[in-house]
Amino acid sequence: MAMVAPSRASMTDGLGRRIDYLRISVTDRCDLRCRYCMAERMTFLPKNQVLTLEEIALLADLFIARGVRKIRLTGGEPLVRRDMPDLVRRIGRHLGGSLDELTLTTNGTRLAEHAARLHDAGVRRINVSLDSLSPARFAHITRGGEISRVMQGLDAAREAGLAVKINMVALKGVNEDEILPMLHWCDSRGFDLTLIETMPLGDTGEDRTDHYLPLTHVMEHIRQRRRLTALPERTGGPARYYAVEGMGARLGFITPLTDNFCADCNRMRMTCEGKIFMCLGHEDHVDFRAALREGGLEAVQPLIDRALRLKPARHDFRIGAAAPAAALSRHMSVTGG
């Protein structure tokens, strides 16, 4: 497929929000089965439904030409895909020009193998999902994961020069007692920490209501011990960041349930099968795969405009006795964490 000339149409949605951040899920597969994210037994997409490396790279090129300035690669677990280093290099060639940043979200289990290559390709910052520092509790949350592999990956990331932010899903009755210890540990390692409320996506076989922990409660708990000062800077995502008294680590909060952050949303998400979800909390999407395979990039251009028009004002995540067990049937691993 040949690259087409970039459209000059604005990447602005129907509500006037500038869309300059694209999250690309490169696979729906993962080597862990985190209880809040996936079911213990998952059915994954057949290979012919997953975009090829070349197709993902071409679509990334097109979005960059349209005005996207930041791309995050996600999964599933992106590093289980064997051609990931090639894709990172392909997209990374835009850095320093039309692309400001290329980042990655990973569970860290394969980071030891890939950290240096990610840095060589232009990645400077990664998010690593880590919900417990206890090997036994980590194994419980991930249904069998080995925390030692993640720790080896984090060591490799630091050695390679990658800035690390730890993503921790706050789970009532599971890891809430580890939030402050995790913050201290991140500070000691030179990492930032972002806390995330659990989101009702997909049937995981677990009752999320039992484990839902409002981050407003967590923030108040921390404030009783350390002064928090709101920071103006953002990293392009939904997290609100705070400086913590006596610490170098920044503390972020992602609060889809207690504090809606949709008014200034700047994101779209593309799944590994080429579906664009304008909002994580809605099933509405635009399918690029058939258009790309049948008509090339020229056929995709108008679909981007359609996606921009359809982007909703906000999500409608709810949790509790009156809410469904899963607001959406789609698992987080399908759309990208």
Annotated binding-site residue numbers for S-adenosyl-L-methionine: 36, 76, 129, 199
Q: Which residues are annotated as a binding site?
A: 23, 30, 34, 36-37, 72, 76, 105, 129, 165, 199, 262, 265, 267-269, 279
Q: Which residues of 96-112 are buried (b: 16+ CB within 10 A; e: fewer)?
A: eeebebbbbbbbbbbbb
* Residue whose tokens read 């009702």: 200
Q: Is the dihedral of CA 285, 262, 214, 24 positive or negative?
A: positive
52: which residues sit within 8 A by CB, 6+ positions away?
none
Other CB atoms closer than 10 Å to residue 7's CB: what's the count? 18
* 3-state SS, residue 297: helix
Residue 156: what residue type? A
Grouping H, G, I as helix, E, B as strand and the rest as coil, residue 189 is: helix
Which H or E run contains 285?
strand 285-287
Terminal CA-to-CA distance of the chain, rounded, Å? 29
Token pair, residue 192, equals 């930032």
- Please enumerate, by residue number, every residue annotated as part of a binding site for [4Fe-4S] cluster: 30, 34, 37, 262, 265, 279
Compute how many other C-beta atoms are within 10 angstroms of the C-beta atom of residue 284.
12
Residues 6+ apart with CB under 8 A from 331: 28, 37, 38, 39, 42, 201, 202, 204
